[in-house]
Structure 1
Amino acid sequence: MRGASTDTPQEAASERLNQIAAVPRISIQAFCETADMAALVHEAAGERRMSRAHVKVHTGGAAAAAEAYREAPTPNLIVIESSAERSELLGFLESLAECCDAGTKVMIVGHLNDIVLYRELMARGVSDYLVAPIQVLDLVRAISHLYTHPTAAPVGRVIAVVGCKGGCGASTVAHNMAWAISRELDVATVIVDLDLAFGTASLNFNQDPPQSIADAIFAPDRLDSNLVDRLLSKCTDRLSLLSAPASLDQLYDLQDTAFDGLFDILRGSVPCVVLDVPHQWTAWARRALTAADDVVLVAAPDLANLRNAKNMVDLLRAARSHDAPPRLVMNGVGMLKRPEIAVADFAKAVELQPLATIPFEAKLFGTAANNGQMIGEVEAGHKIAGTFVDLARRISGRIEARKAKRKLLSPFMSKLYGKYAS
């Protein structure tokens, strides 16, 4: 029996909240007794993890639910708010059971914290019982859990990295951060290069894969885990790449849902997915950012970056009101003879403290780019290499780097993540 949320403040709880799996394409009808509950369901319907579900809200509680389906088919899930006493509520549920279609789930939001009632509801096939008052994420989490099979692979975490202005180094940050997550934290990771026409991930990792992400996007009828597996290029034991075609042979005018199936497959296949999102504003790019578990904004210390960062922060905060705010990385700071906005002033303007500040080091980054290497491979002891390790720890929520006991843990990781965690 679940009660009101006891979450710690949002930023401290972001790791746990981000593990809520997206609700599949199901139909949900809620029968509410109070205006507060109706408003909460409406808000939950707009939550990003509920974007695929079709939600309708009715009034009248359990009595209305029992009456509504005498002649009408039942949805995938019925959510009922009820303040009725035990015997009265059970009577309504008996009536509802007579007309429920096979496969329909019922969730009760009650006002009685009664373990006897909870057991009787479970015995009658009720899927879950929540004790009011509840919060939006309590409802979303409960619905998500109903449709996540206990033996299913763990839901991966998607981190979207995007530049506030072209040329500010977002791809370099994304690639080095992903490399550090996989190497220093022992987390199997996939980099997805979404800059279909001009992507650089294959160059930065010195890869020449024969196939690319386009083979998945332009053949949705063939898209499955086996196809995605064939398209992945192995960079290291724990890091794989889904490269961009980096070709101008075709146009990439895609629908906003073009990548949804691919992202779902990756979530179920690997614990960490890093999206290298290009600096462009399309329907699919916006959806990739708003649907990600974490968003990292990379900015250089100039006025154009500041304006764009402020716009993006405002939009993402509005679209992701129940998620942690986007993370800020300041890149290329301290370029010789270039007038810059002070990092403190930049942070104050966008109301975000930088997760990392990366200095301008033309020789180091140029050498890495020309060699197809990461900063940690070119000069492992450099301070910037340590910055990327720290960034990886903070963005992934992992406090410690990998330990010597990794071999002891590997059998358990293999069971969880299969070949990605060998």
Structure 2
Amino acid sequence: MEYPNLLPRFLKYVKVNSRSDEHSDRFPSTKRQENFQKEVVMKDLENLGLSDVHYNQKSGCVIAEIPSNIDYEVPVMGFLAHCDTADFNAENVRPQVHENYDGKSKIQLGDSDFYLDPEVFPNLKKYAGKTLITTSGDTLLGGDDKCGVSEVVTLAEYLMNHPEVKHGKIRLAFTPDEEIGTGAPHFDIDEFGADFGYTLDGAAPGKLDWGTFSAATFTLNIQGVNVHPSVAKNQMISAIQVGINFQNQLPADEVPEKTDGRQGFFHLTDFQGTVDNAYLEYIVRDFKRDGLARRKNLVKDIVTKMNDEFGTERIKLTMRDQYYNMADELEKHMDVVNLARDAYRKEGLTEIDEDPIRGGTDGSQLTYRGLPCPNLFSGQENMHGRYEYTVLESMYKAVDVMIRMVEMNATNNK
């Protein structure tokens, strides 16, 4: 089904900079995403006539309710999408709309020197005849997760305007700081009031994520000894070289660019330094909890060994867990997964990709906190950079699936 307001809504949303900031000491991490939630999303929900539309300052979430239109009780469903975008330029986003793409040509990104090339990005070949929305080459698009935000708002619009679609109470949440992993711990599950939920934060139609990495992050602060190079022998300790020596003790092939499927990795995401001081930031991923623990222990052992060799704590390690593989918990709630599976099939999506996602969503943390929350596709492609794009027909299908799910929740529990 086509939804005439979905594309203009999406184009409006992506033009608003709502990027989060992992180095911020406030919550939500940026005022700009809070402004997007309050001044754009919340106002749109109020204009649609939803109930209980409000901003929860403690959780940093916009919450709203689509009231039940049936006279019996069914489990309360929730749909969630995050409002922040990733750590790539998000200022002055100029989305480009390409109708009836031929599935084989390069797409120039605005007037830049960058192109979407089907030989580089083969998924493009699947979208002949479709409408693609791309970047202009100098920013990200923000489809992660403004695809999901637009789709959830469009679901609300459709249900409010079509009372013939029977459904129970539906709770909606628009969350902050998903990209930096700090939003979900603040989420107020009791106030949300859903029995189970779904995040709209995934890739192409047919993708159903109920397994994810288990994840941790760590930083190294390295204190060197800086003296003049002319007298450096046996005195200078280069913090940069210490960082390099640490990196070289990690498994060389266990990095994102050399792994796929169910293989985990160590990923150095930031390295800043001088001879005097260096700072390294890593993420660690593994699908098994014990595998994550082994990786963390390897890091601790390397740091301990190097500090012992220095005879002092020259390397300071800070480590924290981010989220765990939601499959460990969702296996206890397969009815929630099966509802999505059945809706996919009824909407013609017979090839369902349930391979664990090599990432995580708010649903990873919320599932462990007691709100079963698989992740549905939203039509994102090439997330987090200038080559990001989405497909309008994929976004339509995401709304179709949600409508089907709310109907099935009402009829299956009658």
Q: Comparing both structures, which one devotes a greater share of its residues to helix?
A: 1
TM-score grouping bracket, smaller chain normalisation: under 0.3
Tell which structure's C-alpha radius of gyration is larger: 1
TM-score (norm 1): 0.20
